[in-house]
Structure 1
């Protein structure tokens, strides 16, 4: 898979994508317009070992649903991400076997190194 999952209304996502020298074979999927599928989410989970690692704990809906005070199972976490696209930590870059999730400084540096090395 060669894809980036992002939110077009997210300035941080746009800034990160614009800062990279992305290859032409990388598909960009705006999760607001084209939700992540169950199969795509399962693929990501296999790469990171847990749906909880894909959960955006800064999303407004996370606070509204008071999820920090709940012990979520993997299945519940998956269902929530599929139901509320903003609960997917983003951006998520997948390029063959490499997966980069989120916008932490470490992740942004790794993305820069991976996509801008040429």
Structure 2
């Protein structure tokens, strides 16, 4: 499977999509218009190893809800991501059995290498 979860209104996501030069078989899912399902988050979890790895601590709601001062469990991270798309660290790219989470230069370079060899 080749899939990219992104936010179409996010300039960083747009830049990374352009940079990755995605092949046509990659399915793009705008998480704002097509919510992440329980099955999808479980698949991401299986590849990433934890829900926390998929969670964005930079989300505005993270600060607004003062979540940094709470003891969040894996279940909390999962439920927050399912509750609101901004809690997913973006973009998330799945290439076969590899997952690339976030927008760091290293992650983007690794994703590009996986796509183009």
TM-score range, shorter chain: over 0.9
Cα shift readout 1:5-50 (whole Å, capped 9, x = no counterpart) = 0000100000000112212111000000001111000000011111
CA distance in structure 2 between the partners assigned to 1:114 and 1:49 by the alignment:
19
The equivalent of 1:12 in structure 2 is 12
The alignment's TM-score, normalised by the length of structure 1, stands at: 0.94
Q: How does 1:95-114 map to 2 (within 5 A)?
A: 95-114=95-114
CA RMSD across the alignment: 1.0
The alignment's TM-score, normalised by the length of structure 2, stands at: 0.95
> After TM superposition, which residue ranges in structure 1, 4 or more long, deviate above 4 angstroms?
none
Gaps spanning 5+ residues in structure 2: where? none
The equivalent of 2:51 in structure 1 is 51
Cα shift readout 1:58-109 (whole Å, capped 9, x = no counterpart) = 1101101111111111111111100010000010000111111000111011
The equivalent of 2:84 in structure 1 is 84
- SS in structure 1 opposite 2:20? coil
Aligned length in residues: 117
Q: How does 1:14-29 map to 2 (within 5 A)?
A: 14-29=14-29
CA distance in structure 2 between the partners assigned to 1:114 and 1:8 by the alignment:
23
Q: How does 1:70-81 map to 2 (within 5 A)?
A: 70-81=70-81
Gaps spanning 5+ residues in structure 1: where? none
